[in-house]
A and B are shown apart, each in its own frame.
Chain A
């Protein structure tokens, strides 16, 4: 146990090891805080580094938990390790969060699936089966999984071009994602979008133009408010896109009209090849909304992201927009054509992988808490591998759409009976699919 722990220096503090459902629920600021009435549970405080006393305490805690229940726990309360930073907020997200066994299994499966999907996509690209542009999310999984965990059915999300993981989380199967990347008809956009252009209900998609999706997110937020359905929109962009003028235009409109929008800056530290310090006058992206309140959250900690998003959802529906910065890291280059090592060192990447990896740290936390067994981890890994392998095989073997689909879905109603082309004007315009937003 101790050996595995030592590989993860950023584990959240384990505050209380709970027995089955021995707690009360309190609702504070939209976030659920769980207080533990169990007298025998141990509190563990950690100051960034493991000390012998910490290990001792931890051992006691773990032992106490196991001996009390004589079984694995089904839920636990965890303290977010790296504190939230707040801008123009008196109160922030809950730092103590509940994690059930089901949630633990779900988040681990989701993050592991995204990691595997991206590895598969990278390999398909190297085999030249995926062509063009391909931006991998490896390293940033906790951001998407944490946000998705907090989202309700009425909520929406729009993002940029690093969206394979989001597409999967929003309901597209791994084969739908990989098939889109290889441009075959089983893809979620039928092979007509490719890497940056994937969509699903409530997921307004990837966008190939840096920053262009952010005002769209504000518009989706307006629709939620107008309809009064209680929903909101997550508008995601990177630290590079944070310098696009239209991001600020969107902040301003959203604030003026109190729109339920969470502007999420996924700060992976590099806008293509430029580090954030060299591109942004203020790298505290959570403060860049000026009058808009902001939250900084550790984007490598799925529970911290979930807690912050839960808080933010409640906030934006009550008060209007908010900026949330998830501090994260991408392991790959900006896209497949960027080896990702000319502007940062291999050691830097290696260090993040070893110390802050969102999947490893979460897995080890769950094992230590007794929420997941190593056997369950192995079973999930095997299942995910099998699913992604099958999806890869499908993406390689499925057929492309026929060439006549080149000119479909350009307009809903073309007004002219024939589509203007180049050689002949004898092609009928066809709308094949009605949008999910209608």
Chain B
């Protein structure tokens, strides 16, 4: 199975590299849109732009800044916002992530709303100290006197097909280890807008990791009015009785496709859950599903060791032990740096996820 997977991956990889016209998609996933039956057609960067637009309009203290944000940002999420709200409120920063984070915390300390963009999640590490030591602990260490709750970081993350080592990483687990933060990952435009507005309004420092490959690839009808999506709540996207599949961000779409395939080819009925919120995560939804199916697979792009899947697996075995039919399985990126040409083999793609379903059912 692994050999077949590798061969299929290699064919796909060659199609990508040499741009051979073939029926394979260039991405490693097929996008599954969410439908509310209302709204305007938007891709994810349009929806994020719309969300920030509403936030800046509603809250006069709100500021938006980051590297190249004034020009619309490298992913176009802030396009036209400087023209609309002025360069006093929407502006470029120098290339200094630690400074951006510290500055944002200071802004939020005063009670103003700070929306800061770190251009790539891979660049967030210079600001790690500010986020972990300053932002996350402000309220606690001042005995509740001060906080920087009106702070939201927007951070493009994840694989994009060709990002190599420093434009592909998914660092959500590093931040999930830090009490005081909220961490969310949207799977598409509707969710992205709702989560960003919820984070901006939430009185805690929040990080929104936006899978960058979805900015253009994900298109949905997004309601144009103000709305928020609940933080800390998972979405059950497909109901099933045999295996629970848990993912977030782009991986949700891989799992939805795999669930379809498993149903068609293996006659296995999978439940697919978008965790949405990494910190805090929805223990109720996950445990309810785990107890129902008795088999859980967690898939994420970040490496296996100490990936957020390990926290889920640990909690599930503790709370659902007597309901489990098989050990909780993780399908993740490898414990290697994010590779350049080997990205298709690194990814927890549909072939590896399908293989895991087969294994867990036949445990």
Contacts and interface: CB of A to CB of B under 8 A. Distances in A.
Contacts of A241: 95
A240 B94 CA distance: 7
B127 to A, nearest CB: 10
Interface stretch (A62-70, A124-132, A297-305, A372-380): A124-132
A54 interface: no
Nearest to A281: B94
Given A192-B339, A406-B346, A410-B335, A132 B6 contact: no
B319 interface: no
A208 B348 CA distance: 25
A362 to B, nearest CB: 31
A312 B161 CA distance: 43
A422 B330 contact: yes
A423 B166 contact: no
A191 B341 contact: yes
A151 B86 CA distance: 48
B17 A208 contact: no
Nearest to B163: A132
B241 interface: no
B85 interface: no
A131 B68 contact: no
A2 interface: no
A407 B99 CA distance: 35
Contacts of B95: 210-211, 240-241, 243-244, 271-272, 279
Contacts of B122: 208-209
Give the contact-size bracket for chain A.
35 or more
Interface stretch (A101-109, A115-123, A397-405): A397-405
Given A245-B126, A422-B333, A423-B356, A406 B68 contact: no
B237 interface: no
A274 B164 contact: no
Interface in B138-155: none
Interface in B302-357: 304-305, 330-337, 339-342, 345-346, 348, 352, 355-356
Given A132-B163, A209-B122, A423 B340 contact: no
Contact of B340 (A128, A193, A273, A422): A193
Interface string A250-283: 0000000000000000000001111000111000
B330 to A, nearest CB: 7
B98 interface: yes
A423 B335 contact: no
Nearest to A192: B340
Given A208-B122, A210-B123, A244-B95, A410 B336 contact: yes
B246 to A, nearest CB: 15
B172 interface: no
Contacts of A243: 94-96, 99
B233 interface: no
Contacts of B356: 423
Contacts of B165: 193-194, 196-197, 208
Contacts of A128: 19
B167 A132 contact: yes
A342 interface: yes
B305 A420 contact: yes
B18 interface: yes
A241 B305 CA distance: 32
Contacts of A50: none
Nearest to B348: A422
Nearest to A246: B126
B92 interface: yes
Contacts of A407: 334, 336
Contacts, number: 136
A337 B74 contact: yes
A221 interface: no
Nearest to B168: A132
A28 interface: no
A413 to B, nearest CB: 15
A245 B304 contact: no
Nearest to A338: B74
A129 B18 CA distance: 6
Given A191-B341, A208-B122, A273-B71, A133 B163 contact: yes
Nearest to A180: B340
B242 interface: no
Given A196-B164, A403-B345, A423 B123 contact: no
B126 A244 contact: yes
Contacts of A337: 74
A422 B126 contact: no
A22 B76 CA distance: 62
Interface string A384-419: 000000000000000011010111001000000001
A279 B94 contact: yes
A155 B257 CA distance: 54
B67 interface: yes
B145 to A, nearest CB: 28
A247 to B, nearest CB: 9
Contacts of A400: 341
A406 B345 contact: yes
Nearest to B18: A129
Contacts of B2: 423-424
Contact of B161 (A131, A192, A244, A274): A131
A410 B107 CA distance: 40
Given A343-B71, A421-B304, A423-B355, A406 B94 contact: no
B162 interface: yes
Nearest to A133: B167
B3 to A, nearest CB: 11
B10 interface: yes
A183 interface: yes
A196 B67 CA distance: 20
Given A274-B68, A422-B348, A423-B2, A209 B340 contact: no
A208 B342 CA distance: 18
Interface in B91-105: 92, 94-96, 98-99
A428 to B, nearest CB: 13
B68 A422 contact: no
B166 A208 contact: yes
8 residue pairs, one from A and one from B, having the closest CB atoms: A208-B166, A131-B162, A183-B341, A132-B162, A243-B94, A406-B342, A194-B340, A279-B94
Interface of B: 2, 6, 9-10, 16-19, 67-68, 71, 74, 92, 94-96, 98-99, 122-123, 125-126, 161-167, 304-305, 330-337, 339-342, 345-346, 348, 352, 355-356
Given A240-B94, A272-B68, A419-B335, 12 more contacts: A132-B167, A191-B340, A196-B165, A208-B167, A209-B166, A245-B96, A246-B126, A278-B92, A400-B341, A401-B341, A406-B339, A406-B342
28 contacts: A131-B17, A133-B164, A192-B340, A193-B164, A195-B164, A197-B165, A208-B165, A211-B96, A211-B126, A241-B95, A243-B95, A244-B95, A245-B98, A245-B99, A272-B74, A273-B71, A274-B67, A279-B94, A337-B74, A403-B9, A403-B10, A403-B342, A403-B345, A406-B346, A410-B335, A410-B337, A421-B335, A423-B2
Interface of A: 127-129, 131-133, 183-184, 191-197, 208-212, 240-241, 243-246, 271-274, 278-280, 337, 342-343, 400-401, 403, 405-407, 410, 419-424
